[in-house]
Amino acid sequence: MAAGVHNVLDAGFAKLRDITPGVHLFCPRISDDDDEIYEDFDAVTSISRQEKEQRIEDGQARLDLMYSCSLILGLSREAAGPLRSEFDTRTDNFLQTCASCVRNWHKGRAQFLKDVTK
């Protein structure tokens, strides 16, 4: 693995490991039971506007992190080693069960790919 990619992946996966399992990786939801409507600030809510804004900001940070971690997909399984399995395990559920995660993942990919090729 190239040193630069290795450093990015090591740093990204270290941060990923700090995220509590169950917290959505591609959207603001903090659990599967979180039924907050993040797309509409005027929607009836059980949390403060400040908390909603913080969750949205945190969700964006997690999404950005996952784009960095997704660089693992460009490596062969042998070169990726256990990081590939870790990536798959942490992401598969959210990308199969959460419409917000799926939408956010696909919406931001083009910009990420543009940024990473600069």
Give the model's pLDDT for residue 112.
84
Q: How far is CA 4 from CA 7, 9, 59, 78, 111, in A?
A: 5, 9, 26, 18, 20
Global pTM value? 0.89
The CA distance from 73 to 21, in Å, is 21
How is residue 47 annotated by DSSP?
S
Compute mean pLDDT per 10 residues along the chain, 118 residues long, and list them. 67 96 97 93 86 96 95 91 94 95 92 80
* Domains contained in the chain, number: 1
Give dist(CA 7, CA 27) in Å, integer: 25
Rounded CA-CA distance 60/5 in Å is: 22
